[in-house]
């Protein structure tokens, strides 16, 4: 797949296109199929970001600050160059605000990834976003350190819009960490678009540490013989919604998606994922692990679409929830939509409680009950990240989970 600049497109028309979409479909309601079971009352809030509310706030450390990385920092949705690092050779970065001001050619990629149906929250982001990151990894470049995009939203009563575009040219390789930290009373709407050139490899890990509302969307388009790993680690948000759209457009493409979430109190965590196989010989995997406590609710919708031309597809889904208390609940909807006849696809969904026999075995070996529960829940979540993230990142995430469970 060629990812040469699409000069025939209007460079900044994504905002106008989004206005057309939003006028046509409107914001989600209780009748919107992909929002059934979620919370649509949030759309009554004022979502327009006042530009004057900017940076002057104390910024707490991020979850993965200890990882040696190339940092790009945003505060309340705006790029903060003083806290950010320079890019290494072979990597170009421009803030979205600068790209708009200079009519940068990379704007033609924004909004170019097709979804099976229009997404109102993405259109809302396109209309309101003021700043973001456009990152291009040049042909053949392989980074030895991850790029970490840090989004801090410390101002209450504020809607932060963020946009990230990642373009990986052929034979390139890079790891991305995207960290979101949102304070009480803050609202975040964030969109990431990932375009992979032939024979490229990208790893993308998103962590969300929020106490109010986070609406997120990740869209990806894969070329020939590409590999994309997407990981999510989320906790703490009153309402978290993550939409994932992946298009496998080149033969030999592979995507692995793994999500681990801890949901408690009366919080709602909602993951919706659609992976579309458009060509033969591609593979996909979706693994969602929800740990649900108190009266919290987990929602997962996962769909794999296999078009008529996508023979020799191998697609897997596994949606699992562990309910720690009687008031906790989970809703899962795995789907396969297959139009080809030579495929290998499977899906599954389980909801249950901690295995009493396993707890008894651990306690009989002298392990205290709370520690035994921690070991089992930890192992349950870790399975989401098999072959998704490296050991250093996994160690930090699990250490954070242990602290969270012990508070």
Q: Mind listing the pLDDT tens digit for each residue in 81-124?
A: 888 999 999 999 999 999 998 999 999 999 999 999 889 999 99
How much is the pLDDT for 4? 45
Q: Which residue has the higher pLDDT, 141 or 402?
A: 141
Q: Which whole number is the average pLDDT over 5-18?
A: 58
| Closest by CA position to 163, among listed 81, 99, 105, 252 | 99
How much is the pLDDT for 335? 96
Q: Band of the pLDDT at 333, cuts 50, 70, 90?
A: very high
155-to-50, 91, 171, 214 alpha-carbon distances in Å: 11, 31, 41, 14
Q: Which residue has the higher pLDDT, 40 or 161?
A: 161
Task: Tell me the C-alpha distance between 40 and 148, whole Å.
Answer: 31
- Output b/e per residue, 171-210; b: 16+ Cβ within 10 A: bbbbbbbbbbbbbeebbbbbbbbbbbbbbbbbbbbbbbbb
Q: Band of the pLDDT at 407, cuts 50, 70, 90?
A: low
Q: Which long-range contacts (CB under 8 A, 24 or more apart) does 81-85 make?
A: 83/59, 83/150
What does the pLDDT look like over 248-291, one tens digit per residue?
Answer: 999 999 999 999 999 999 999 999 999 999 999 999 999 999 99
Q: Band of the pLDDT at 402, cuts 50, 70, 90?
A: confident
How much is the pLDDT for 338? 97
Q: Which residue has the higher pLDDT, 384 or 45?
A: 384
CB under 8 Å to 198, separation ≥6 — which residues? 1, 170, 171, 223, 224, 225, 226, 250
Q: What pTM did the predictor assign?
A: 0.87
In the block, tokens 């996909």 appear at 284
Of 24-38, 61-75, 97-111, 293-307, which gets the smallest average pLDDT? 24-38
CB under 8 Å to 144, separation ≥6 — which residues? none
Task: Tell me the C-alpha distance between 330 and 322, whole Å.
Answer: 9
Question: What does pLDDT average to over the chain?
Answer: 88
How much is the pLDDT for 3? 47
How much is the pLDDT for 400? 87
């Amino acid at each position: 797949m060629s990812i040469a600049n699409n000069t025939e497109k209007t460079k900044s028309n994504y905002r106008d296109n989004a206005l057309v979409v939003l006028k046509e479909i409107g914001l989600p309601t209780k009748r919107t199929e992909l929002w059934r079971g979620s919370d649509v009352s949030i759309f009554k809030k004022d979502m327009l970001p006042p530009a004057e509310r900017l940076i002057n706030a104390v910024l707490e450390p991020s979850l993965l600050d200890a990882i040696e990385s190339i940092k790009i920092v945003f505060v309340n949705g705006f790029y903060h160059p003083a806290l950010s690092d320079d890019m290494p050779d072979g990597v170009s970065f421009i803030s979205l605000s600068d790209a708009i001001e200079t009519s940068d050619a990379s704007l033609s990629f924004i909004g170019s990834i097709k979804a099976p149906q229009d997404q109102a929250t993405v259109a809302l982001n396109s209309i309101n976003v003021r700043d973001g990151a456009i990152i291009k990894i040049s042909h053949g470049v392989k980074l030895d350190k991850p790029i970490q995009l840090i989004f801090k939203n410390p101002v209450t009563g504020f809607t932060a819009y963020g946009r990230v575009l990642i373009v990986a040219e052929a034979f390139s390789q890079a790891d991305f960490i995207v960290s979101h930290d949102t304070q009480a009373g803050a609202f975040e709407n964030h969109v990431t678009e990932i375009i992979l050139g032939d024979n490229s490899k990208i790893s993308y890990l998103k962590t969300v540490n929020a106490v109010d509302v986070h609406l997120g969307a990740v869209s990806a388009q894969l070329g020939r013989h590409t590999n994309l790993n997407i990981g999510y680690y989320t906790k703490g948000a009153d309402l978290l919604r993550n939409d994932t759209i992946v298009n496998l457009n080149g033969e030999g493409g592979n995507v692995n998606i793994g999500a681990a979430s801890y949901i408690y109190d009366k919080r709602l965590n909602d993951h919706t994922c659609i992976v579309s196989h458009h060509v033969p010989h591609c593979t996909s995997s979706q693994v969602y692990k929800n740990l649900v406590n108190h009266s919290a609710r987990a929602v997962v919708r996962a769909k794999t679409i296999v078009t008529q031309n996508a023979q020799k597809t191998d697609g897997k889904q596994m949606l699992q929830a562990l309910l720690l208390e009687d008031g906790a609940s989970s809703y899962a909807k795995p789907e396969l939509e297959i139009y080809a006849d030579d495929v290998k696809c499977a899906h599954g969904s389980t909801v249950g409680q901690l295995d009493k026999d396993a707890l008894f075995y651990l306690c009989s070996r002298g392990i205290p009950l709370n520690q035994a529960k921690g070991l089992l829940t930890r192992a349950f979540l870790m399975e989401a990240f098999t072959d998704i993230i490296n050991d250093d990142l996994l160690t930090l995430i699990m250490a954070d989970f242990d602290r969270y469970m012990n508070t």
